[in-house]
Structure 1
C-alpha cells in the first residue's frame, strides 16, 4: 500500500500534524536562508546597513526565482496528488518526470538571463549608486546557483505529495544548516563579505538538491524519476503550469511589490528606509513561512480527497487549518507590538535604522491576524483544481490592493502612506477571500 493511501482514511487532525508539521518546520528553516544572510551581513564590519540594503534590493529577484520553482513544484505536486487519489499511478509518475524536466529548464533560463541583465535589473529594482555594488556582488553568485534552488524547492513539493513529509523537512534542515555554517565561515572566517554570503546560499541549495535527487532516483523509492517520463508532453505541461499559476502569481506579485516598495522608500526615505524594509521582509518571512508550510500540508490532503470525492474531509481539514493559522498569526502580531526594538536590533543597531524600524514594523503588521486565513482561503481553490479563483484571490492583496495603495498613499502622506498601505490591503483582501471561500466550501457536494 502506498503511503498516500492514508490521506483518504486516517483522522484529519492526525494527517494535518503528519503532513503540515514537517512542512512548517521545513519552511521556517528554509526562511533562514535569507534571514541569516541579513543578520550576518547587517552586523558585519564594513557592510552594515549598506550590505543589508544591497540584499533587500536583490530580494524581489530571488522571489521571482522562487516563483518558477513554486509554479512547477506546487502545480506538479497538486496534479500528482490528484492522480494518486484517482488511482492513476502511472500518470502520476509522468507528472513527476515532466515536472523535473521543467525545473531544470526553468533554472537554466533564469541563470542565463540573470547573468546577462544583472546591472540593469538591479537599477530597475531601485538600487542607488551607493547600493548597486553590494547588490551586484551578491546577486551574480545567486544567479549561478539558480538551478540548485529551483530544482530543490520544486521537487520538495513532490516529496511531500509522495507521502514523505519528514524527508522534505530533512531536506530543508540540511540546506539551512549548511548555509548557517558556511555564512559564518565565508563572511567572518575567510572575510569574503557579501559574496561569501551568496556563495554559502548556493552551496547549501546544491546540497539540498543532491539529497532530494537521491530519493527520487533511488530504485527503492515508491515514485522514481525515469527517463521515459521526462519527455515533455504539451498537455501535461499546460496542466502543471496552470495549477501552479496561483503560486507563481503570488510570488511574482511579491516581486513586483518589492520593486515598488524599494523604489518608493528610496524616494521618500533613502537607503535607511530600504534597509528597514529588508528587516521587515525577514520578519514577515519568519511569520508567514509556517503558515505557508501548513498550507502545503493542507493542499496535499485536500487535493487527494478531492480526487477521491471525500468532501467532508476537505471541510474538516480547512476548518482545523484556518483556526491554527489565525492563532499563529495572532501570536506574531503580539510579538511585533511588544518587542519591536529587540526584533530590529537583531539585524542592525544603528540608531536611525532602529528608530524608523520600530514605527515601520508596528504599522506594517497591524492587520497581521487575518493574513493566515487569507493565504489558506485563496489556496483552497488551487488544491481543488480551480486555479482561476485562486489567482484572483492570491493577487488581491499584493497586486490589486497593496501596490496601488502604496503608489497612491505615498503621494498623499509620503513614507507614512507606504507603511499604512499594508494593513489596508491585508484587511480588505481578507474580506474578499472570506466571501469567496464561503461559497467555495458550500459548492462541495456531500
Structure 2
C-alpha cells in the first residue's frame, strides 16, 4: 500500500481520511438509509394503497412482480456500488483520471442495463409472471401493474446507481434529496390515481414511474457537477479495466439481491403448492408472504443503508493505508445494525397483527397465518444485521470474492435449500422454520471470516507503526 506521506495534498485534506469515524458514518449512512428506504417505500406504499383499494389479490400481484423490482435493485447496486467503490479506491490512491473513468463507465453501463431489462420484461412478461408463481386469479393484476412499472426500470436503475456515485463524491445530502423527492411524489400520487381517479393497479404503477423519472432527472444534473473529479468525453469511453472493476466490486451487493429474487420466486411457488394442500389455500400464503417481505424490506433497507454508508469511508481509508480507521468504521456500523436488529425483532414478535392490518383487511385465517409466519420466519432477525455489513466491508476493501461469498450465504447456500427440503416433511410450516435456521448459520459464518480479517488489519497497522517509530 502507498504510505500516507506519498498522497497528494488533495487526498491529505479529504475529510474521509481524518474526520471522526462516527461523524462520517452518520453523515454518509443517513442518506444511504433514506435512499434504500425510498426504494423499499416505492413497493410498500403501493402495497398499502393497493391492499385497501384493490384487495388481497392486488397484494398478491405486487408480491409476484416483486422479483423484477429486486432485479432492478440488483443491477443498480452492481453498477452503482461497483463504480462508487472503484471511484473511492482510486481517489484514495490519488488517481483522479481513473476515478473519473470509473464514474463515466458506470453511468454508461447503467443506461445499457436499464434499457435491456425493460425490453426483456416487456417481451416475456406473461411467462415470467407465471414462472414467479402467479395463480390464475392473480395473473391479470400482476400483468396490469408490471406492464407499466417496466417503463420506469431504466430510470430506477440509473438513479439508484448514480446516487452511490454522488455519495462517493462527498455529497450524501444531494443523493438523499433526489431519492426522497421521488418517494414523496409517489406517495402523493398513489391515493389520487388509485382512489380519486379509480385507476386501481394502473394508478399505483403510474405513480411509481412518475416519482422514479423525477428522481432520475435530479441525479442526472449532478453528473455535470462532481466536486472531486471532472468528467470528460474520455471518461465515458468503455474500457475493459474500469468495467471489470465495476463488475468485480459491485458483485457482492448484486448477488445478494439476485439471491433474494431467486428465493422469492422459489418461495412463491412453494407457498402456492403447499398452501393449496393446507387449510389456507394458495392465495393467502402468497399475499401474507408478500407483505412480510415488504415489511422486512424496511428493516433491511436501514441495515443495508448503514453498510453502504461505510463504503466511501472504508474504501478511501483502505486505499490510503489507514487501516485503524477502516476497522473502527466497520465495528461502528456493525454495532448500529445490531442495535436496530433488536428493535426489529421486538416489533415483529409483539405486533405482527397490527403490522399486517396496515396493508388491508382479510379473513381470520389470513391473519392467523400472517402472525405465525411473522413470529417463526423472522425469529432470528436479531442477527440479520451482520451479513450485509460484513459483505459490504469485504467489497469496500477490494476483496470482492469474499464479499460475493458473504452475500450468497443466507439466501443461496442456506435458505434456498431449506425452503425446498423442509416443506417436503413439514408442509407449509417448513418455509417458516427455514428462515431462522438460515439466519443463525449465516451469522456464524460471517463472524468467523470477519474476526480473521480484523486481526490481519490490526497486525498490518501495528507493523506499519513500528516501522515508522524505527525510522
Smaller-chain TM-score bracket: over 0.9
Query: Are 1:427 and 2:434 matched, yes or no?
Result: no
Query: Are 1:308 and 2:315 matched, yes or no?
Result: no
* In 2, Cα distance between equivalents of 1:225 and 1:148: 21
Given that 1:84 and 1:304 are in contact with CA atoms closer than 8 Å, whether structure 2 keeps it comes out as yes
Mark the structure with the bigger radius of gyration. 2
SS at match of 1:84: helix
Q: Out of 241, 254, 275, which is 2:247 matched to?
A: 241
Query: Are 1:228 and 2:237 matched, yes or no?
Result: no
* In 2, Cα distance between equivalents of 1:12 and 1:222: 20
Q: What corresponds to 1:71 in structure 2?
A: 78
Q: 1:17 to 1:120 in 2, by over 3 A?
A: same
Given that 1:3 and 1:163 are in contact with CA atoms closer than 8 Å, whether structure 2 keeps it comes out as no
Stretches (4+) displaced over 3 A: 1-4, 220-226
Q: Out of 146, 154, 160, which is 2:167 matched to?
A: 160
Q: What corresponds to 1:388 in structure 2?
A: 401
Please, which runs of 5 or more residues in structure 2 have no aligned partner? 1-9, 276-281, 462-471
Q: 1:193 to 1:95 in 2, by over 3 A?
A: same
Cα RMSD over matched residues? 1.4
* In 2, Cα distance between equivalents of 1:343 and 1:418: 20
Given that 1:2 and 1:222 are in contact with CA atoms closer than 8 Å, whether structure 2 keeps it comes out as no
Q: How do 1:33-432 and structure 2 match up within 5 A? A: 33-44=42-53, 47-218=54-225, 221-269=227-275, 270-351=282-363, 352-432=365-445
Query: How many residue pairs end up in the alignment?
Result: 443
* In 2, Cα distance between equivalents of 1:134 and 1:345: 21
Given that 1:215 and 1:221 are in contact with CA atoms closer than 8 Å, whether structure 2 keeps it comes out as no
* In 2, Cα distance between equivalents of 1:169 and 1:418: 36
SS at match of 1:217: coil
Given that 1:30 and 1:173 are in contact with CA atoms closer than 8 Å, whether structure 2 keeps it comes out as no
* In 2, Cα distance between equivalents of 1:188 and 1:242: 45
Q: What corresponds to 2:466 in structure 1?
A: none
Q: What corresponds to 2:278 in structure 1?
A: none
* In 1, Cα distance between equivalents of 2:389 and 2:39: 20
* In 2, Cα distance between equivalents of 1:437 and 1:265: 35
CA deviation after TM superposition for structure 1 residue 228, in Å: 2.5
Q: 1:141 to 1:226 in 2, by over 3 A?
A: farther
